[in-house]
Amino acid sequence: MSDSDLPRPDLPPLREVINAHGLFASKALGQNFLFDEQLLSRIAAIPGRLKGQNVLEVGPGPGGLTRALLRAGAKVTAIEMDKRCMAPLGELAEAFPGQLTVIEGDALKIDHASLFDGEPYAILANLPYNVGTALFTGWLSGETWPPRWTSLTLMFQQEVAERIVAPSGSDAFGRLAVLSQWRAAPKIAMKVHRSAFTPPPKVMSAIIHVKPGDMPEGVSARMLERVTEAAFGQRRKMLRQSLKGLPGALDALETLGIDPARRAETLSVAEFVSIAKILSA
Ligand code: SAM
């Protein structure tokens, strides 16, 4: 199948779909919908060519991004917890036969291991801030690396996206940056103006794209989490204070020649990894 053979069924405009199904945006579910189909196609293009690829979409809502993914030829499994979205998503599944599976449920509770029969998949999502961050840290925290997901393409508040890509030494550098960067290279792929959403959120958004990179040898992900938790839990304090509750951490600083008078945000990602490696041994 060449790209010109990709399915292009006629679909009603997204605003019509919303009105037909009475899908007013729910604040409780963090719903801010995207209707601009050109923008949605650009987002769907971020992970690269999707023809025949497995994609997990979390929080499809009325299916704006889902359409773009299906048009790109992806095989999509979508997890959505709003019952009201089942009808419009069902219509999409009919328009793209065999390409869309919809799971009604809470993505925080669904076991990802059972998805796609053990095959690799890309993940895309435009989620409420708290759900997006919880899933993101979960996807990044596995001890098995590389993970089965091949890329993450996720909408965040711009401020959160900047914390994910923050360089060491900057104010935004913290736990999220270390956990995102130690075995991957997250990038801001696109900024999205608040006016692109209905209703518009209070703040600007940005899309993060992450591909798994090499895993440093001999480091436990759980140990790195503990080190960053302790170090940034008291980020204004010197390391000798913030790490003193973590057995072996002060000795590790000495072994590595890291001055215990430094503060967490001055350490590089590699230095955090070296501390965790000594403590993982
Ligand atoms: N993807 C759509 C778009 O871009 O227009 C909708 C985005 S809206 C910001 C977030 C969607 O995630 C909503 O449809 C909401 O119901 C859904 N959602 C929120 N929490 C969820 C969860 N824990 N599991 C699955 N879906 C969730």
User: What percent of the chain has pLDDT above 90?
Assistant: 89
DSSP-derived 3-state class of residue 104? strand
Mutate to test the pocket of ligand 1, among 80, 102, 124, 157 (most ligand atoms within 8 A of CB): 80
Which residues surround ligand 1 with Cβ inside 6 Å? Answer: 29-34, 58-61, 64-65, 79-82, 85, 106-108, 126-128, 131
Q: Which two tokens stand for residue 75?
A: 């095989």
Name the nearest CA neighbour of 265 among 187, 181, 175, 205: 175
- Burial label, 97 (beta-carbon count in 10 A; 0-12, 13-18, 19+): exposed
pLDDT band, very low/low/confident/very high, at 67 (cuts 50, 70, 90) = very high
Ligand 1 atom 14: residue of nearest CA = 61
Name the nearest CA neighbour of 96 among 60, 122, 125, 72: 72
Q: State the closest ligand 1 atom to the C-alpha of 79, by its place in the atom list counted from 1.
A: 25
The region of weakest confidence among 2-16, 39-53, 210-224, 233-247 is 2-16
| Confidence check: pLDDT of 256 > 70 | yes
CA of 181 to the centre of ligand 1 (A): 26
Q: Which two tokens stand for residue 8?
A: 């292009």
CA of 265 to the centre of ligand 1 (A): 33
Cα–Cα distance, 184 to 153 (Å, whole number): 13
Q: What is the pLDDT of residue 20?
A: 93
- 80 labeled binding residue: yes
- 19 labeled binding residue: no
Beta strands across the sheet bearing 205-210:
100-104, 75-80, 54-58, 121-126, 149-157, 205-210, 187-192
pTM: 0.95
CA of 35 to the centre of ligand 1 (A): 14
- The neighbouring-strand residues paired with 124 are 57, 153
Q: What is the pLDDT of residue 102?
A: 98
At 52, give phi and psi (nearest 5°): 75, 0
Determine the average pLDDT of the residues in 233-251. Answer: 95
Mutate to test the pocket of ligand 1, among 131, 190, 194, 207 (most ligand atoms within 8 A of CB): 131
Q: What is the pLDDT of residue 2?
A: 61
CA of 222 to the centre of ligand 1 (A): 29
Ligand 1 atom 8: residue of nearest CA = 31
Q: What are the contacts of 58-61 at 24+ separation with CB within 8 A?
A: 58/107, 58/123, 58/124, 58/125, 58/127, 58/131, 58/135, 59/107, 59/125, 59/126, 59/127, 59/128, 59/131, 60/85, 60/89, 60/102, 61/23, 61/31, 61/33, 61/85, 61/126
Determine the average pLDDT of the residues in 77-100. Answer: 97
CA of 126 to the centre of ligand 1 (A): 7
Residue located via tokens 């095989």: 75
| Confidence check: pLDDT of 1 > 80 | no
Ligand 1 atom 3: residue of nearest CA = 33
- 106 labeled binding residue: yes
CA of 64 to the centre of ligand 1 (A): 11
Q: What is the pLDDT of residue 112?
A: 86
Q: Which two tokens stand for residue 132?
A: 């997006």
Ligand 1 atom 25: residue of nearest CA = 80
| Confidence check: pLDDT of 249 > 60 | yes
Buried b (16+ CB within 10 A) or exposed e, 210-227: bbbeeebeebebebbbbb
